[in-house]
Structure 1
Amino acid sequence: MGTNDLDTAYFDEQLYVRNVAVDNVIFGYHDRELKVLLQKPKLLDKWTVAGGYILKTESVEEAAHNIAFMRTGLKDLFLEQFKTFGSPTRIKDEWLDIEKVFENAGLNPPTEAWIRDYSVSIAFYTLTEFSLVTVQKASFDEAIEWWPVAQLPRMMFDHALIIEEALKALQRDIYHYPIGYELLPRKFTLPEIHSLYETILGKTLDNRNFTRKLLSTGIIKKLDETRNIGAHRSPFLYKFEKKQYDAALKNGIFLGF
């Protein structure tokens, strides 16, 4: 899928970098579940991550940002390149499915079109606060929806593997970068950020050790505000300190939970 809506120019190798695509795994966090934004092409029963070819007028990172913007309506989201995927069979094995997508869009790529050949994908993951997203559906999409990472639908190509590798990268990075900032609301409770980290890492974290390590970094600040969540239950709210967050993002930290 292109960084612009699908049209006849999509097959023009004068406009696009030949045989190199960007796939962007867009993660959100909602109801204690890590979710991924997937799209389902019309007439197909399989899903894909957000992706597209790269215009010759944009960088790889710009293409990844544009793909995220087209699907979420949000600009300048946090994204990280994590791997490159390439195999002679990753496109050819399901070319008949791609033909259906083109046919439904009223397109018929020439037999010699470069888009039919070996395709390499540069993969990114993007993080966004779930509640801020306004899902954007392209003309060739039948649906675009959030799916729990643990309950994926049938995926096209190697996109299940791409999501699996994106999650591994996120699990590594969460120990070294304060990326909880990107997934939580501006104000949150300690149990909420604790639950986020447990969800991403897929394991139980000792509450006292987690809180002590997180507070010792100086990246979050306790507010003089509470949230009423029930009788006699009003935990304090916290927020990320932007200056310390930016420094930790630039220089790295170590959260040895």
Structure 2
Amino acid sequence: MEYKKEVIRFIDDLKNYLPHVSIDCTIFGFHDGQLKVLLLRWKETNDWCLPGGRVYHNENLDAAAHRSLQKRTGLSEIFLQQFHTFGDVIRYKNFSVQETLTKLGLPIEVGMEIISRDVSVGYYALVEFAGVTPTPDFFTEECRWWDIDQIPLLLFDHNDMITLALKTLRRQLSYQPIGYTLLPDKFTMPDLQQLYETILGQTLDRRNFQKRMLGYGILERLEERKIGGAHKAPYLYRFNKEKYEKALSDEILFVG
């Protein structure tokens, strides 16, 4: 009963938002060689979806996406990029409209106000998930990370969103650097290679990777080595922030 009251209050509040425009965020999380995606479970169900939200009348799209992401992760300064607009007439890929409403426990007249046809602007982000505090939104009671290869059937067209977001992220590695917010201030070349391999889902040649990364001029090798380990301690590196940000803006070619 209380949930339905909250839904009605939300419908009354829809007048404050742009009609039929929504935002969905594919938030990838990286940590220690693992790649995950952040999902929400709707209240009183076992059904999952991506985090998202609406756009206020006086709000830019990017600002709305940052606002939504900050509420779900607690992070404010992370890389977030728009990657696609989803506007199919039928956006219920795994479950029909009626099945979706039944799963969400919503009567048809109420549910259609909430899940009527929207054009959704897709964003993706990449964060270090060890520093994230997943937080549910208005309609959900659980927010947690899922392994990228264990994602369940999701509501709406959100499986398609994740697939396209991952393709876009992998393509990004060819023209923009990653890692500034995902690695410690000081890291080894194997640490950086592990990050790239985890995202790409494939093994890279060590020598070619190191040669390529050093050639871009965004790394500084320090006069210190990583302590511990059975093998010869590798040198530590750090990003040159100024050159890193210039590489982001110039979209220099990273993978040939």
**Which category describes the TM-score, using the shorter chain as reference length?**
0.7 to 0.9
Runs ≥4 residues deviating over 3 A: 9-13, 94-103, 108-116
Match of 1:57 in 2: 58
Match of 1:173 in 2: 172
Indicate which of 80, 93, 96 corresponds to 1:93.
96
Matches of 2:252 and 2:144 in 1, distance apart?
33
Q: Does the 8 Å contact 1:188/1:239 carry over to 2?
A: yes
Matches of 1:42 and 1:117 in 2, distance apart?
19
Match of 1:242 in 2: 241
**Alignment partner of 1:43 is 2:44:** yes
Matches of 1:22 and 1:48 in 2, distance apart?
13
Match of 2:121 in 1: 122
Match of 2:26 in 1: 25
Deviation at 1:13, TM superposition (A): 4.1
Deviation at 1:204, TM superposition (A): 1.9
Q: Counterpart of 1:180 in 2: which secondary structure?
A: coil
Q: 1:206 to 1:43 in 2, by over 3 A?
A: same
Query: Which amino acid in structure 2 is aligned with residue 81 of structure 1?
Result: Q
Structure 1 stretches lacking a partner, 5+ long:
none
Q: Counterpart of 1:181 in 2: which secondary structure?
A: coil
Q: 1:42 to 1:114 in 2, by over 3 A?
A: closer
Q: Residues 66-105 of structure 1, C-alpha deviation per residue, up to 9 Å, x if partnerless?
A: 11100110103211111011222225824553465475xx
TM-score, with length taken from structure 2: 0.87
Question: Which region of structure 1 is more displaced relative to structure 2, 140-149 or 163-172?
Answer: 140-149
Query: Which amino acid in structure 1 is aligned with residue 63 of structure 2?
Result: E
Q: 1:6 to 1:133 in 2, by over 3 A?
A: farther
Q: Residues 41-68 of structure 1, C-alpha deviation per residue, up to 9 Å, x if partnerless?
A: 1122221111111111211101110111
Q: State the identity %.
A: 40
Q: Does the 8 Å contact 2:26/2:124 carry over to 1?
A: yes
Computed over aligned residues only, the root mean square deviation of the Cα atoms, in angstroms, reads 2.4
